[in-house]
Amino acid sequence: MRRYDVARAGSGLLLALSLLAGCARGPDVDASGLALRRVVIYRNGVAYFERRGLIDADQVTFRVRKEKVGDFLATLAVIEAGGSSVRSASFPVEVDDGSGEGDAPEEPGPEVTTASPPKDKGAAAGEKKRDELEKVKLTLDGREHDLVVGYVAETPVWRPSYRLVMGAAGAQGAASKQAHLQAWGIVQNLSGEDWKGVKLSLVAGAPLAFQATLDQAAIPPRPIVSDQGEVIASVPTSETTLAAEAAPPPPPMPAPQAAPAVPPAAAGADEGHGYAFEAEEGAAASRAAMRDRLEVAKAPAKPMAKRAVGGAAGAPGAAGPRGGVMFNDDPLAMDNKAMMNPSPPRNMSALAAVAMEAGTTRYDIPFPVDIPDRSATMVLLLAKQVPGESIFLFAPDGGVPASSSHPFRVARFTNDTKGLLERGPIAVFENGAFLGQGMVEPLPPGATTTVPFALERGLAVDTTREESAEGARLAKIEGGALEIERDWVTHTKYAVRNGGDLAARTLVKHPRLHGTRLHAPPKGTEDNVGTGSALVPIDVPRRGTAVLDVDERRIFRQQIDWLSQLADDAVQAYLKDPRADAAVAKQLGQAWEVRGKLRPAIDERDRLIAEQQRLEQQSHELRQNLRAIEKNKTADELRRDLTDRLAKASARLDEITKRVIVLEMQINEQQIRFRDLTSEIKLLAPLAPVRATP
């Protein structure tokens, strides 16, 4: 729990606002003699109320609005400041039909009196309010009590509002890096009573709370079990056993060993029908409790009210040693109150501390606060210098069409208050002028927020995107198969043009692609995983243009041939990586020596085969041409030229054929060597890609 006492210098800043005019209704909860002393308001529609007073009577009567009774009973906590004289609080409900009959003397003991609301809606307003209230009576065991009573009731949430005053620019026009932050809290009092001199606390958090209906009877349904009788549906058949000689007797069993003595706890377990009870003290307590219940059962039947052991109903530590419930008519429990009723804490602030355990940040107003009923008050919670600046943010928003090409002016500041700032509106000021308004989302301690408050048309942004596959890394080698990893790269380029006279520092809110990582982001980049976006900074010169390239990469795998260029790139990178496995690197080195001979031979063979095919096609065309001019007497010179070219092609084809045969033999040999070497290599996990840091 973090607590902040508002500075005394600003303690007098209160703004009271009248909410509604007209007749004021009665309070939701009222108790004569117990004045309201403390109010703790949360952000989930409930508040903790604490009343205190000196009571010189044997009971305290609470008047609770009908719809508030359930929450009141579920959260009521009572502490006696002078010790443990308040031992119980019980709430039997007696419905009063309003007829005034049956004014018999009441039995001593606490009670809740319920008055039904009148059916005549035209009755006086005062009578209607009176009929809507129910009585909760707390019976005390003495005459004078210094009581503290706490409970939770529905209350409008307190709402924060912020002011941010940007610092003045430096001597050379440099932007200030400091801002003055003010936080105000708006509190509404709709409780039906004036809050006079109360200690007010505002909690930035929402503890778990729910509506209770403890004032309403609940009878759960039970299953119906009926006896249908017993009917024989069919005649059973007889069983026949054939005659047979008796089997020989079994060999004698060894003599049984003496069983160990049963310990007292085990003996108690047998008496308890299979349940192992606690040790001596626990068993004694259990037997005493059973004896008490039997005595109560023998007593004449009369209404009994449940009594919570300890200081108050719902108070921490109120349960007895066995965690059960005792009864008003239990004489043994009354005699042993020193053991069964632990003393409640004497520190009266314990109630509020328990009520606010779920909060994250609490603002304690250091002075008593007066808030009339049906009115609101705005209190200053903090005023502090925080790191902050006014910059630009390019974040296209569907609700602002022009934001697709123009950035926002934003106030960017860090929560340097060591406490949670709740969601609320913020007004931005600079140089004595109002710049605009925005909305602050919940801001944890140390976090930085960027709040848009205006659109800047002096800056324009163009966006383009390119995609490609890059890189090659060994991913897996098993069974002679090679698998590599590659990066699917997406380049998103933002061209920002500044038409102003001052340099503009701009943040680009880049929507992150699912399953990608940022590669070599600029310094100062904020990759916000929770929002699925990244804030990437860029400085744009005055009357100039700057281009921001956001590089996002996603890894994908593919199986490739050992002799491909991608395989060579991946293996060479692995051999140069100091993180590589030494054994795998050695095997790859040996295989790559063979590959160094195999790959050139294959390349030469493929080149010769391509030349061979080209020469064969050329020779075929030459032969066709010779046949075409075979009977032409005037084409002797052309015939000789074609014949020479055909002879050269044939000679070259013979050379290629011989060389291809030799290369095929070499390739077959090297392929066998290479296959044997690669089949023994096993790499199951790739090296992590090197991530560039901003």
Lowest mean pLDDT among 360-374, 590-604, 668-682: 360-374
Q: Letter for the amino acid at 658?
A: K
Compute CA 68 distance to the chain's CA centroid, rounded to the nearest angstrom: 32
| Dist CA 274 CA 282 (whole Å) | 16
Q: Quick one: 588 and 537 in the same domain?
A: no
Q: Which residue has the tokens 């039906």?
A: 192
At 216 the pLDDT is 63
569 within a domain of the structure (yes/no): no
Cα distances from 72 to residues 63, 67, 492, in angstroms, run 11, 10, 59
Sign of the Cα torsion 47, 48, 53, 55 reads: positive
Cα distances from 96 to residues 28, 115, 128, 262, 267, in angstroms, run 20, 5, 15, 60, 54
Residue 338 has pLDDT above 70, yes or no: no
Q: Quick one: 149 and 57 in the same domain?
A: yes
Q: Are 371 and 190 in contact (CB under 8 A)?
A: no
SS3 category, 139 = strand
Q: Which of 79, 88, 198, 85 is nearest to 148 (CA)?
A: 79
- When pLDDT is cut at 50, 70 and 90, the band that residue 324 belongs to is very low
At 360 the pLDDT is 65
Q: Which residues contact 588 (CB under 8 A, 6 or more apart)?
A: 571, 574, 575, 681
655 within a domain of the structure (yes/no): yes
Q: Letter for the amino acid at 357?
A: E
Q: Looking at residues 74-103, what average pLDDT do you find?
A: 57
At 177 the pLDDT is 84
Retrieve residue 190's tokens: 């709709």
383 within a domain of the structure (yes/no): no
453 within a domain of the structure (yes/no): no
At 594 the pLDDT is 95
The DSSP annotation for 253-284 comes to: PPPPPPPPPPPHHHHHHHHTTT----SHHHHH
Q: Which residues contact 487 (CB under 8 A, 6 or more apart)?
A: 469, 470, 471, 519, 553, 554, 555, 556, 689
At 80 the pLDDT is 72
SS3 category, 374 = coil
Question: What DSSP state is assigned to residue 397?
Answer: B
Per-residue pLDDT of 430-443, as tens digits, reads 888 898 889 999 98
Retrieve residue 109's tokens: 């003991």
Q: Quick one: 589 and 665 in the same domain?
A: yes
Domain boundary among 526, 560, 594: 560
Q: Quick one: 56 and 144 in the same domain?
A: yes
At 217 the pLDDT is 67
Cα distances from 220 to residues 105, 212, 217, 304, 552, in angstroms, run 33, 17, 10, 20, 60
Q: Which residue has the tokens 């309070």?
A: 27
Q: Are 101 and 73 in contact (CB under 8 A)?
A: no
Using only the alpha carbons of the chain, give its radius of gyration: 45
- When pLDDT is cut at 50, 70 and 90, the band that residue 615 belongs to is very high
- The pTM score is 0.59
| Dist CA 190 CA 375 (whole Å) | 7
Beta carbons within 10 angstroms of residue 287's beta carbon: 12
Helical H segments across 57-201, by residue range = 69-75, 125-131
Burial letters 337-365, b for 16+ CB under 10 A, else e: eeebbbebbeebebbbebbbeebbbbbbb
Q: Are 187 and 377 in contact (CB under 8 A)?
A: yes
At 649 the pLDDT is 93
- When pLDDT is cut at 50, 70 and 90, the band that residue 234 belongs to is low
At 233 the pLDDT is 60
Question: Which one of 26-30, 297-301, 582-586 scores highest in mean pLDDT?
Answer: 582-586
Q: Which of 484, 474, 472, 490 is nearest to 554 (CA)?
A: 490
Retrieve residue 110's tokens: 């606490």
The mean pLDDT of the chain is 75
Q: Are 667 and 559 in contact (CB under 8 A)?
A: no
Q: Quick one: 543 and 593 in the same domain?
A: no
At 38 the pLDDT is 92
Q: Quick one: 555 and 614 in the same domain?
A: no
User: pLDDT > 70: what percent of the chain?
Assistant: 65
Q: Letter for the amino acid at 28?
A: D
684 within a domain of the structure (yes/no): no
SS3 category, 634 = helix
Q: Which of 320, 686, 169 is nearest to 472 (CA)?
A: 686
The residue with greater pLDDT, 262 or 159, is: 159
Q: Quick one: 539 and 588 in the same domain?
A: no
At 255 the pLDDT is 57
Q: Which of 542, 472, 473 is nearest to 505 (CA)?
A: 542
Q: Which of 381, 445, 384 is nearest to 158 (CA)?
A: 381
Q: Quick one: 90 and 140 in the same domain?
A: yes
Compute φ and ψ for 411, nearest 5 degrees: -105, 120
336 within a domain of the structure (yes/no): yes
Beta strand 2-5 with 195-203: parallel, antiparallel or unpaired?
A: unpaired
Q: Count the domains in the chain.
A: 3
SS3 category, 658 = helix
For the chain, how far is it from start to end, CA to CA, in angstroms? 36
Q: Looking at residues 559-566, what average pLDDT do you find?
A: 95
Residue 102 has pLDDT above 50, yes or no: no
Q: Left, alpha or beta for 121 (phi > 0: left; psi -120 to 50: alpha)? A: alpha
Q: Quick one: 593 and 553 in the same domain?
A: no
66 HSE (CA, 13 A, CB side): 13
91 within a domain of the structure (yes/no): yes
Q: Are 113 and 59 in contact (CB under 8 A)?
A: no
Q: Quick one: 537 and 604 in the same domain?
A: no
Q: Quick one: 535 and 590 in the same domain?
A: no
Q: Are 420 and 442 in contact (CB under 8 A)?
A: yes
Compute φ and ψ for 263, nearest 5 degrees: -70, 160
Residue 461 has pLDDT above 50, yes or no: yes
At 148 the pLDDT is 84
The residue with greater pLDDT, 541 or 254, is: 541
388 within a domain of the structure (yes/no): no
Which residues are registered as beta bridge partners of 131?
A: none
| Dist CA 90 CA 97 (whole Å) | 22
Residue 467 has pLDDT above 90, yes or no: yes
Q: Quick one: 76 and 119 in the same domain?
A: yes
Q: Are 386 and 416 in contact (CB under 8 A)?
A: yes
Cα distances from 399 to residues 424, 511, 522, 535, in angstroms, run 20, 17, 29, 20
Residue 506 has pLDDT above 80, yes or no: yes
User: pLDDT > 90: what percent of the chain?
Assistant: 40
Domain boundary among 318, 340, 355: 355
| Dist CA 579 CA 437 (whole Å) | 53
Range of the domain at 498: 460-560
The residue with greater pLDDT, 218 or 257, is: 218
